[in-house]
Structure 1
Amino acid sequence: MNFSTDNVYIKVQDHSVSKENFELLLDSDLQLLKTHPQPALENLGSYYESEDYISHTDSKRSLFEKMYHLVKSYSLKKKVGLINSYHREKGSLLDIGAGTGDFLVAAKASGWQTTGVEPNENAKKLAISKGISFQNSIESIENEQFNVITMWHVMEHVPDVEYQIKQLKRLLKPNGTLIIAVPNYKSFDAQHYGKFWAAYDVPRHLWHFSRTSIEKLVSRENMKLEKTLPMIFDSFYVSLLSEKYKTGKMNFFSAFWIGLRSNLKANASKEYSSHIYVVKNK
């Protein structure tokens, strides 16, 4: 990968925890952005220490959190339906970044043999209480391969993208399916909110993807991007947070309007706020 401090795409701030400033550097060939500077691995956890980091909790304190979990419940059914459509015979499934385990609970109920990986101990404890089994890390999985590997809004968090994809290749069975869901910095809502776009979420998001970057990165490991699907609810969720960062309050009407416009424009451009990438192993 080719990143240079001379090729700054945008300057952004950590709005939710540290208030520190960062630059996003562009690799022009991959159309991939890298957060700069990236925190040292031993310090990265401190940037997740917030009660508002919603994917590490089952909390339903506010209307926003209740809405999040309502959409999450619907999305879980769609996610399980997606993997079932590619594998009529249920097999083994690894979810990397399993959070509080709700996706694996749904997949297990559908007949999958499930395993999770989750670095956050509080989220993992919640998932274990729901009956989910875990591996300590992907490196600790030595003699096992999976029919399906999923990373739902996780790839943007990994320290080394190229290494991660090599590990995914190693862990995926021949003709297995890899599902990657990540935000898309080329979407209309990203362009509209600019430095306030919530899905930049620096420095927790170390990387920022486009359709081009995903396709090129997986092809290097002899895997094929087979399908790209929209995550239509993400534009509304991200716009709501972006409004908060930009104006200091959640403007529901403005957020809904920008989220709707983003999805409508994406009907033609195919640049949705977030995408699900379906990748097949060769």
Structure 2
Amino acid sequence: MKTSQKKPFLTCKDYTVSGESFELIYNDHQDILITQPQPSSEDLPKYYQSEDYISHTDASKKFSDKLYQGVKNVMLQKKVKLIDSLVNSENKTLLDIGAGTGDFLKTAKQSNWKVRGVEPNSAARKLAEQKEIHLIEDISLISSEEKFDLISLWHVLEHIPDLDLQIEKFHSLLNRNGYLIIAVPNFKSYDASYYQEFWAAYDVPRHLWHFSKEGMVRLLESHQFQFQKTLPLVFDSFYVSLLSEKYKTGKSNFLKAFRLGMKSNLKAKRTNEYSSLIYVFKKA
């Protein structure tokens, strides 16, 4: 990624795996935050080796797990409704990057999408296989001749090294007028400003990049994508606040987290700075 001036923004801790601290550096040209130091490609997988990393499991043991899984089931239907509204054809094709345990692709398949998925984590891929969803390990295994009507990344772009290179790959794999859907946390949300270094959606060092609305649009437009719209992920503020309270105080503080999540959403009705946003882009 091209950078200009870099300014220290926050120091955050990895609460999930290592306990290590990482710097967030503000790139004023891109209007994004960059995690430093970024783990090497060899070291990065070890930061995902935790039972608490829920997107690689179907866990529902703890209250936060049950909340996550319940919200996920609601959102699966909303996500498929969104992609159905964008592509209306008999042979519609979908590529999901960071497909986790395959639930989104399974739901899309039930809505007559021809689906493909990429997931680096082997345990997640095995769970997807049990749902009859075959995932490949890396996007490089997809032929450049294969094209898709829509590519989705649900809370995945922030994890991807070689950001510019990967976005160029997405562009090349889309059909003419194809869509790219990206969901990411928003570091300019109220809950991010409230929790500061304890904000769970920083999730260092698994999150290598941290986006604002302006930064996301600048980045994708520089890669020949046309911005279409944003949509809120209103449940995220509640889940993120619940985790953030635990990081900050050592306790779940469910009621306080609920109030904070509600306050963040109410403020975002005016500012559109929701805790997480879905971005819809079209191939230019």
* Residue 99 of structure 2: aligned partner: 98
Question: What do residues 190-225 of structure 1 show as CA deviations (whole Å, max 9, x unaligned)?
Answer: 000000000000000000011111111111121111
How far apart are residue 73 of structure 1 and its match? 0.3
Q: Is the 8 A contact 1:114 1:133 kept in 2?
A: no
Question: What do residues 57-109 of structure 1 show as CA deviations (whole Å, max 9, x unaligned)?
Answer: 11111222112111100000000000000112251100000000000000000
Distance 1:264 1:220 in 2: 32
* Residue 8 of structure 1: aligned partner: 8
* Residue 113 of structure 1: aligned partner: 114
Match of 2:183, SS state, is strand
How far apart are residue 137 of structure 1 and its match? 1.7
Q: Which runs of 4+ in 1 moved over 3 A?
A: none
Q: Which moved more, 1:231-240 or 1:11-20?
A: 11-20
Distance 2:67 2:12 in 1: 27
Match of 1:89, SS state, is coil
* Equivalent residues, number: 281
Distance 1:38 1:63 in 2: 31
1:192 has 2:213 as partner:
no
Q: Which runs of 5+ in 1 are unaligned?
A: none
Q: Report the TM-score when normalising by structure 1.
A: 0.97
Match of 1:41, SS state, is coil
Taking the TM superposition and a 5 Å limit, the aligned residue runs for 1:133-212 are 133-142=134-143, 143-212=145-214
Q: Report the TM-score when normalising by structure 2.
A: 0.97
How far apart are residue 136 of structure 1 and its match? 3.3
Q: What percentage of aligned pairs have identical amino acids?
A: 53
How far apart are residue 128 of structure 1 and its match? 1.2
Q: Is the 8 A contact 1:96 1:150 kept in 2?
A: yes
Match of 1:99, SS state, is coil
1:232 has 2:234 as partner:
yes
Please tell me the root mean square deviation across aligned C-alpha atoms, in Å.
1.0
How far apart are residue 3 of structure 1 and its match? 5.5
Match of 1:17, SS state, is coil
Q: Is the 8 A contact 2:35 2:208 kept in 1?
A: yes
Q: Is the 8 A contact 1:33 1:209 kept in 2?
A: yes
Give the residue type in structure 2 aligned to 1:231.
L
Distance 1:172 1:108 in 2: 19
Distance 2:62 2:19 in 1: 23
Distance 1:100 1:141 in 2: 19
* Residue 128 of structure 1: aligned partner: 129
1:21 has 2:21 as partner:
yes
Q: Is the 8 A contact 1:185 1:273 kept in 2?
A: yes
Q: Is the 8 A contact 1:94 1:114 kept in 2?
A: yes
Q: Is the 8 A contact 1:26 1:33 kept in 2?
A: yes
